[in-house]
A and B are shown apart, each in its own frame.
Chain A
Amino acid sequence: MNRYPVWKYAIIVIALVVGALYTLPNFFGEAPAVQVSAGKATARVDTGTQTRIEEAIKGAGLKADLITFDGNSVKARFDSTDNQLKAKDAIQKALIPDTTDPAYVVALNLVPRSPAWLSALHASPMYLGLDLRGGVHFMLQVDMQAALNKKAESLSGDIRSVLREKNLRHGGISRNGQIIEVRFRDSATLDAAKKVFQEQFGELQTVDVPEGAEYKLTATIRPEAARKIQEQAVKQNITTLHNRINELGVAEPVIQQQGLDRIVVQLPGVQDTAKAKDILGRTATLEMRLVDESAEAREAEGGRGPVPFGAERYMQRDGRVVIVKKQVIITGDSLTDAQPGFDSQNQQPKVDLTVDAKGGRIMRDVSRENMKKRMAILLFEKGKGEVLTAPVIQGELGNRFQISGSMTVVEANDLALLLRAGSLAAPMEIIEERTIGPSLGAENIAKGFNSVTWGFLVIVAFMAAYYMLFGLFSGIALAVNLLLLVAILSMLQATLTLPGMAAMALALGMAIDSNVLINERVREELRNGVSPQAAIHAGYDRAWATIFDSNITTLIAGLALLAFGSGPVRGFAVVHCIGILTSMFSAVFFSRGLVNLWYGQKKKLKTVSIGTVWRPDGAGTVAAANGNEK
């Protein structure tokens, strides 16, 4: 009765082999590496890049242990951090001739040291969370209201120019939050304007509100258009974040949208967290507006008069006051690129700007009408605006134009960086931030590892002492549980965090419950005088229902945590749930296999090594405590 058919043993063997294979990479540790990935959308990493990298490494007199290309990036592994740093310099020199415009990101990274055949099986070590490897985690919230307000503002500008083009006279366009109001003198123009709206502004829905003698048209952004704007705002912000992070040279950044309006950024292994925060935290938006050059504005600039209607007062970086019109020409949305460079004629530093087609059209119109006037570029950070620069428009501008004159090289570089940083569609705010130093990460690994190891050893020792051979089987089953748990986590590449390691320890502590149940049940059966073989059989059988019930309740708790948990709780819940599942396999199925293998063949089994089976009826006295070693 205690025999497994061959296929059951086969399942056990397969599970063990697969488990061992996928657990194996965790033992090889990690080696320093240089990772090269594309820094721009136009740049591509391919086998050609790989050959160039190989040559660069050879040229520097270094030898890489392994160079791999995974479709997105090339990784070169080295034996020491010293060689890693040397190789990084060599590769950087070879691949990036122009440091102002890097096409590739050359970053330091750690890659698993596991042999090639394991990598070929896609067996890689567990993915360590930030709290175990150090790094930065940010959650950013995109300010959607601001994005919609801005869209409404730019739309009202568009309406103005379209109405002018069509020669439709209006009595004023104003924006009230996200509602655009256009006034007309007669109903004929209103009807004509309505038609224009339908043709050219599909994203707006209009309602005409007669107001006294005037005809008023209010336009609001359609909900579906608003949704699209929000999606685009998040997407654009993600792209901008990508670019900023590329400047940092992080090997495996994670930039993900979370929910409707949130972005999660994780930069593992970043050592200089202050710089990372500085670059990412620079949540800024950019606007180009005309400088108000009327007489009143000049007065206001000098502090002698009030700021004229329709204008605002801003400070330039050097502290000078600039009076800027409220109307926005283009926003950072339209700005696609900003690069520092040198003017070919006078060798002065300059910044080249590229805007998209729509922005180019607007720039052309505006610059034609405002020749020799000043245009201000404003950067808004956390609701506070600042004029970056306010150059004079020297000619008709198009898609590409430049800002030059009275700039040092450093200033040009800064300006270009700020312009790029400002091309965010909507302002973002950091709502969650976690920074873990690299030494703390290593300590956390050690702490988690020690907790699991010591707990495991003590439990196995106790089980073996208390239940003898059955205890030993339980211990082996527990080890198998750990093996499978690590293997599955490695396979899924789920993120392991410190709470995850705690869950691992807890899973082992709880998994032993199943074996205790079984062993106690077997003892009980023996105590009742059942033959050893039947006792084993009944013990496993009867315990199963209880084990199943109790694991299900624990699993319910685990799933609830998984569903509603975030951050550290999630890491805990994943391991917790997987641990429950693996424990059912190892504690029941696998340990039964061991017992069957050991005892199943013995037909005339007299004793089972399961520790003391004490019988109250053995003798009335306490001396009976010796029990029957059955």
Chain B
Amino acid sequence: MEFFKIRKDIPFMRHALIFNVISLVTFIAAVFFLFSRGLHLSVEFTGGTVMEVSYSQPADLSKVRGLVSGLGFADVQVQNFGTARDVMIRLPVQKGITSAQQSEKVLSALKADDPKVSLRRTEFVGPQVGDELAADGLKALGMVVAGIMIYLAFRFEWKFAVAAIIANLHDVIIILGFFAFFQWEFSLAVLAAVLAVLGYSVNESVVIFDRIRENFRRYRKMNTTEIIDNAITSTISRTIITHGSTQIMVLSMLLFGGETLHYFAMALTIGILFGIYSSVFVAAAIAMWLGIKREDLVKAAPRKDDGSMDPDDPNAGATV
């Protein structure tokens, strides 16, 4: 089998501008939703109590809500979790009452109504822990960005490092934008997924940059645009197949992993899709505009300039 029968290099860079504008618009939309709607942070970040209870038959949410708010807890969220029989209850932190008492009180009230209800999980996080987790998350993000940039600058050149980080951070923001738009729950597991995606999609850019460097050495006559087009074209089949394989795994998590892994897998899915887009259309273009040159990568080579800034085209040239 061969999915990619490409005769000529696809002129990706011809339309680089358009792709970057699309990227920019998505990015701005993501930032807009992040600010206007905000992330629906899980209890790990906000502090509070989460309880998961299971009924023997489909649960009546409004009754549960009535029972819990009848206990005098303000701002209670009650929703189904996975199946109709499982209910998730979120309670904010309350002063002067321990989480143990809180969940105990709720459970006994629910038990009084239906003795068959069983407690599957509770989670309580104090507000101080939540703040720490948020701070640690940001530190981790900072460290990933710095680490990757240093490595790429060392391995390639600073222009590549900047291009890769811009392209991939914009993936991260877009993932967050999705979570803000749909108000999906942003938990620690999702944060882990986001950071893993960052490392993973930088991967993608690295593969393309690697090819660009190799092409600079190999094809002395091509200009930068052609070199980039050739690099992307010759790695495109690998890009699609690799991401496809990873996506198979993620899909499997989405299907079989249950509610706990749902948003984790969701974040990965968005990350993988936008990871392809940003590596192929954005990272290389930014590197091009930053003015990567043969001399930067290949020592003692004749100067062949890249003055042409013409953007290029994607799959249009692809055949069968």
A interface, CB within 8 angstroms of B: 131, 139, 141, 273-274, 277-278, 281, 382, 429-437, 439-440, 443-444, 447-448, 450-452, 454-456, 458-459, 462-463, 465-466, 498-499, 502-503, 505-506, 508-510, 512-513, 516-517, 520, 523-524, 542, 545-546, 549-561, 563-569, 572-573, 576, 611-614, 616, 622, 625, 627
Are B98 and A281 in touch, CB under 8 angstroms? yes
Are A508 and B260 in touch, CB under 8 angstroms? no
Contacts of A434 in B (CB 8 A): 121-124
Contacts of A437 in B (CB 8 A): 118-121
Give A266 Cβ to nearest chain B Cβ, in Å.
14
Contacts of A456 in B (CB 8 A): 249
B128 within 8 Å of A by Cβ?
yes
Q: How far is the CA of A558 from the CA of B107 in the complex (A)?
A: 39
Contacts of A139 in B (CB 8 A): 129
Return the contact of A433 from the options B6, B122, B198, B253 (Cβ within 8 A).
B122
Return the contact of A141 from the options B126, B200, B241, B249 (Cβ within 8 A).
B126
Are A430 and B320 in touch, CB under 8 angstroms? no
Contacts of B147 in A (CB 8 A): 556-557, 559-560
Q: How far is the CA of A463 from the CA of B253 in the complex (A)?
A: 19
Q: Identify the stretch in B10-18, B24-32, B131-139 within 8 Å (CB) of chain A at 4 or more residues.
A: B131-139
Are B192 and A499 in touch, CB under 8 angstroms? yes
B96 within 8 Å of A by Cβ?
yes
Return the contact of A550 from the options B191, B206, B253 (Cβ within 8 A).
B206
- Asked if A458 meets B252 with Cβ closer than 8 Å, knowing A278-B100, A556-B151, A557-B196, the reply is yes
Q: How far is the CA of A459 from the CA of B251 in the complex (A)?
A: 11
7 nearest A-B residue pairs (beta carbon) = A557-B199, A509-B249, A431-B126, A455-B252, A455-B249, A509-B246, A450-B256
Q: How far is the CA of A146 from the CA of B89 in the complex (A)?
A: 34
- Asked if A556 meets B260 with Cβ closer than 8 Å, knowing A429-B126, A454-B255, the reply is no
Are B250 and A506 in touch, CB under 8 angstroms? yes
Q: How far is the CA of A432 from the CA of B195 in the complex (A)?
A: 24
**A interface footprint on B241-271 (CB within 8 Å = 1, 0 otherwise):** 1101111111111011110110011001000
Give B201 Cβ to nearest chain A Cβ, in Å.
9
Contacts of A572 in B (CB 8 A): 189, 192, 196
List 9 additional contacts besides A513-B242, A549-B210, A554-B196; criterion CB under 8 Å. Answer: A429-B126, A465-B1, A498-B260, A516-B245, A523-B2, A554-B200, A561-B140, A573-B192, A616-B6
A-B contact pairs, 24 of them (CB 8 A): A273-B119, A277-B100, A431-B128, A431-B129, A432-B126, A436-B121, A439-B120, A455-B248, A455-B251, A466-B1, A499-B192, A506-B250, A510-B246, A512-B246, A556-B147, A557-B202, A558-B199, A561-B196, A564-B136, A566-B132, A568-B189, A569-B189, A569-B192, A572-B189
- Asked if A563 meets B143 with Cβ closer than 8 Å, knowing A273-B119, A517-B238, A611-B2, the reply is yes
Contacts of A552 in B (CB 8 A): 151
Q: How far is the CA of A382 from the CA of B101 in the complex (A)?
A: 12
Q: How far is the CA of A277 from the CA of B252 in the complex (A)?
A: 36
Are A433 and B100 in touch, CB under 8 angstroms? yes
Are A505 and B252 in touch, CB under 8 angstroms? yes
Tell me whether chain A's interface is mostly helix, strand or loop, or mixed: helix
Q: How far is the CA of A564 from the CA of B145 in the complex (A)?
A: 14
Nearest A residue to B237 by beta-carbon distance?
A520
Return the contact of B2 from the options A281, A516, A568, A614 (Cβ within 8 A).
A614
Are B245 and A432 in touch, CB under 8 angstroms? no
Contacts of B265 in A (CB 8 A): 502
**Complex interface residues of chain B between 251 and 304 (CB less than 8 A to chain A):** 251-253, 255-258, 260-261, 264-265, 268
Are A556 and B121 in touch, CB under 8 angstroms? no
Give A409 Cβ to nearest chain B Cβ, in Å.
27
Contacts of A554 in B (CB 8 A): 196, 199-200, 202-203
Count of inter-chain pairs, beta carbons less than 8 A: 255
**Complex interface residues of chain B between 74 and 133 (CB less than 8 A to chain A):** 96, 98-101, 103-104, 107, 118-126, 128-129, 132-133
Point out which of A558, A564, A566 has the most chain B C-beta atoms below 10 A from its C-beta: A564
Are A447 and B234 in touch, CB under 8 angstroms? no
Nearest A residue to B8 by beta-carbon distance?
A616
Are B126 and A565 in touch, CB under 8 angstroms? no
Return the contact of A447 from the options B214, B251, B257, B320 (Cβ within 8 A).
B257
Q: How far is the CA of A274 from the CA of B101 in the complex (A)?
A: 10
Are B248 and A565 in touch, CB under 8 angstroms? no
Contacts of A512 in B (CB 8 A): 242, 245-246
Give A136 Cβ to nearest chain B Cβ, in Å.
9
Tell me whether chain B's interface is mostly helix, strand or loop, or mixed: helix
B166 within 8 Å of A by Cβ?
no
- Asked if A516 meets B242 with Cβ closer than 8 Å, knowing A553-B206, A625-B5, the reply is yes
Return the contact of B195 from the options A454, A545, A557 (Cβ within 8 A).
A557
B148 within 8 Å of A by Cβ?
yes
Q: How far is the CA of A10 from the CA of B108 in the complex (A)?
A: 62
Nearest A residue to B102 by beta-carbon distance?
A433
Return the contact of B100 from the options A430, A439, A546, A613 (Cβ within 8 A).
A430
Are A505 and B253 in touch, CB under 8 angstroms? yes
Contacts of B255 in A (CB 8 A): 451, 454
B180 within 8 Å of A by Cβ?
no
B37 within 8 Å of A by Cβ?
no
Are A431 and B104 in touch, CB under 8 angstroms? no
Contacts of B188 in A (CB 8 A): 565-569
Contacts of A141 in B (CB 8 A): 126, 128
- Asked if A564 meets B260 with Cβ closer than 8 Å, knowing A430-B99, A455-B252, A550-B203, the reply is no
Contacts of A613 in B (CB 8 A): 2
Are B199 and A556 in touch, CB under 8 angstroms? yes
Return the contact of B248 from the options A509, A563, A576 (Cβ within 8 A).
A509
Q: How far is the CA of A612 from the CA of B4 in the complex (A)?
A: 10
**A interface footprint on B139-161 (CB within 8 Å = 1, 0 otherwise):** 11101100110011001000000
Q: How far is the CA of A280 from the CA of B196 in the complex (A)?
A: 36
Contacts of A439 in B (CB 8 A): 120
Are A440 and B241 in touch, CB under 8 angstroms? no
Give B257 Cβ to nearest chain A Cβ, in Å.
5
- Asked if A564 meets B245 with Cβ closer than 8 Å, knowing A430-B100, A506-B250, A553-B199, the reply is no
Are A557 and B144 in touch, CB under 8 angstroms? yes
Point out which of A557, A558, A573, A613 has the most chain B C-beta atoms below 10 A from its C-beta: A557
Give A559 Cβ to nearest chain B Cβ, in Å.
7
Give A451 Cβ to nearest chain B Cβ, in Å.
4
**A interface footprint on B211-233 (CB within 8 Å = 1, 0 otherwise):** 10010000000000000000000
Are A560 and B207 in touch, CB under 8 angstroms? no
B319 within 8 Å of A by Cβ?
yes
Contacts of B126 in A (CB 8 A): 141, 429-432
- Asked if A440 meets B2 with Cβ closer than 8 Å, knowing A431-B128, A451-B253, A505-B252, the reply is no
